[in-house]
Amino acid sequence: MSENNGKDKERLESSGEEAIREEAAGAEAVANPGAAQRDFAEAARKEGSGAGAKLQPAPAAGAQIDVQRIWELVKNPLSSLKLDGNRDFIYGLLGIAASLIGFMFFTLIIGRSLPFIGWLGLGGTLFGKMLLLAIISNTALHASIWLIGLWQGKQKLGIKPLITHIGALQYGAGAAFIVAGLLYWVSFNLCMIVLLVALLALFTLSIIASLELYNVAKERFSLYIMLTTAAYAIITMLVAGLLF
């Protein structure tokens, strides 16, 4: 009996000491709330660090560029219709860049080589103006196709997929512009023929591709082509007239 009383007495003393410690901690928290908050935040951080590390998302993989696909686009520009309008957006941007770079290479060759341009010191001025004109022309091409396509087509296509498909068919044009520039040293007439063919082919292929992209009805083909051509010419002339 005395043994049980002793154990009860020890438990009471232990409970009393714990209550005293909790009361002291509470008083310290009241006296110094900033320290208590820091201790709580540190404990929560340690507790959640393991789970938080597991919940962190894996970093997104960078856009992969398939050189073989680009080569296929050079050989067959209309294969751009097989691309995914959103996922393959990078191929459209690279196609537009390739076209601009090729055209500027041609302009650089012509600007440095024609005697009257070099004599007048207009090489750099010509290069800048032709670069701006190329950007305006390419932008006007996409804008005219987008506007007329939304109006005449059954399929409503956004601007991003349009850039993917139309931009990705310009790799061949960029290569043709470079060839035209190199041909200048062989024959000026041949150089200009290749340039003209490249420009006409680029515009024609863009129209053909857009007919399918926007699902234009066959009975509207003629109207669509005429409206798109007119819109392209008007936009290009208006913007170029304002800037030049």
Residue 163 CB neighbour total at 10 angstroms: 19
pLDDT band at residue 240 under the 50/70/90 scheme = confident
**Cα–Cα nearest to 194, from 181, 208, 207, 211:** 181
Asked if residue 63 lies in contact with residue 86, where contact means CB atoms within 8 angstroms, the answer is: no
pLDDT band at residue 123 under the 50/70/90 scheme = very low
**Predicted confidence (pLDDT) at residue 13 exceeds the cutoff of 70:** no
**Predicted confidence (pLDDT) at residue 146 exceeds the cutoff of 60:** yes
Asked if residue 137 lies in contact with residue 63, where contact means CB atoms within 8 angstroms, the answer is: no
Q: Which positions ≥6 away from 90 have C-beta within 8 Å?
A: 63, 65
Q: pLDDT tens across 88-102, in order?
A: 999 999 999 999 999
Largest CA distance in the chain: 123
**Predicted confidence (pLDDT) at residue 210 exceeds the cutoff of 90:** yes
**Predicted confidence (pLDDT) at residue 64 exceeds the cutoff of 90:** no
Residue type for position 19: A
For helices 123-152 and 159-168, the axis angle rounded to 10 degrees is 120
pLDDT band at residue 54 under the 50/70/90 scheme = very low
As a whole number, mean pLDDT of residues 124-131 equals 71
Least confidently predicted of 26-40, 57-71, 214-228: 26-40
| Whole-number pLDDT of residue 239 | 87
As a whole number, mean pLDDT of residues 52-71 equals 59
Q: Which positions ≥6 away from 101 have C-beta within 8 Å?
A: 174
Measure the CA dihedral 218/219/222/223, to 10°.
-120
Asked if residue 188 lies in contact with residue 106, where contact means CB atoms within 8 angstroms, the answer is: no
Least confidently predicted of 50-59, 68-77, 173-182: 50-59
| Whole-number pLDDT of residue 166 | 95
Q: Is 96 exposed, middle or buried (0-12, 13-18, 19+ CB in 10 A)?
A: buried
pLDDT band at residue 228 under the 50/70/90 scheme = very high
Higher-confidence position of 16 and 147: 147
For 194-228, give the DSSP string.
HHHHHHHHHHHHHHHHHHHHTT--GGGHHHHHHHH
Q: Which positions ≥6 away from 35 have C-beta within 8 Å?
A: 28, 29
Q: Output the six-digit token pair for 153.
A: 């087509």
Higher-confidence position of 235 and 59: 235
57 torsion bin: left (phi>0), alpha (psi -120 to 50), beta (else): beta
| Whole-number pLDDT of residue 132 | 87
Distance CA 9, CA 4 (A): 9
As a whole number, mean pLDDT of residues 48-73 equals 59
Distance CA 62, CA 128 (A): 33
**Cα–Cα nearest to 151, from 200, 218, 212, 216:** 216
Q: What percent of the chain has pLDDT above 90? A: 52
62 torsion bin: left (phi>0), alpha (psi -120 to 50), beta (else): beta
Output the pTM of the full model.
0.69
Average pLDDT, the chain: 78
